[in-house]
């Protein structure tokens, strides 16, 4: 978080609270806040947008993961988790190949929430992450085809 004397320090809890409230009318303003903010405030706004916007945040999430630095990569995973949308599964699977261990951990957590399953592999090292990626890549399309019937 920011210094306790900064405006950002007061802004971050307000953003988090709006996300918890989940008023759909706050979707576009929250996406705007996320786009205009930096660092932890931006991450907090993307997480709140996932809670508020649900499926509408998927496009933003997908665009974010393509360019995200590790902190925003972790934030984008949390955003995806809170959308409760199966559309977030494929982009999350791609994050299992991210070089940052914490991004991979957040991706696995989000995949577990969204798909109601866990991989048999961890992501603690490169080999495990590759196996997890292969596991999710194979089982996710099959699970999606069953669920969408």
pLDDT 10s digits, 58-76:
888 888 877 778 888 888 8
Q: How far is CA 132 from CA 38, 71, 124, 136, in A?
A: 31, 21, 10, 6
The arithmetic mean of pLDDT across residues 76-81, rounded, is 89
Top-level class of domain 8-143: mainly alpha
Spatial contact of 108 and 96, defined as CB atoms under 8 Å apart:
yes
120 or 142: whose pLDDT is higher?
A: 120
**Rounded distance, CA 23 to CA 7, Å?**
23
In this predicted structure, what is the pLDDT of residue 115?
87
- pLDDT surpasses 70 at 147: no
**Which pLDDT tens digit goes with each residue over 2-33?**
577 777 788 999 999 999 999 999 999 999 99
Rg of the Cα trace of the chain? Answer: 16
Domain ranges of the chain: 8-143
- pLDDT surpasses 80 at 99: yes
The arithmetic mean of pLDDT across residues 108-112, rounded, is 90
**Within a 10 A sphere around the Cβ of 144, how many other Cβ atoms?**
14
pTM value is 0.75
Kindly indicate the confidence band of residue 146, based on its pLDDT and cuts at 50, 70 and 90: very low
Residue % of the chain over a pLDDT of 90:
32
């Amino acid at each position: 978080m920011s210094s306790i004397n900064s405006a950002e320090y007061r802004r971050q809890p307000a953003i988090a609270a709006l996300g918890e409230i989940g008023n759909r009318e706050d979707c576009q303003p929250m996406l705007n806040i996320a786009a205009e903010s930096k660092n932890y405030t931006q991450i907090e706004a993307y997480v709140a947008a996932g809670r508020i916007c649900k499926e509408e945040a998927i496009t933003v999430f997908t665009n974010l993961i393509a360019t995200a630095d590790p902190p925003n990569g972790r934030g984008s995973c949390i955003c995806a988790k809170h959308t409760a949308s199966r559309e977030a599964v494929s982009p999350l699977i791609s994050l299992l190949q991210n070089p940052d261990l914490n991004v991979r951990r957040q991706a696995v957590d989000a995949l577990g929430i969204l798909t109601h399953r866990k991989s048999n592999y961890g992501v603690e090292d490169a080999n495990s992450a590759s196996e997890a990626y292969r596991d999710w890549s194979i089982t996710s399309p099959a699970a999606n085809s069953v669920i969408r019937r």
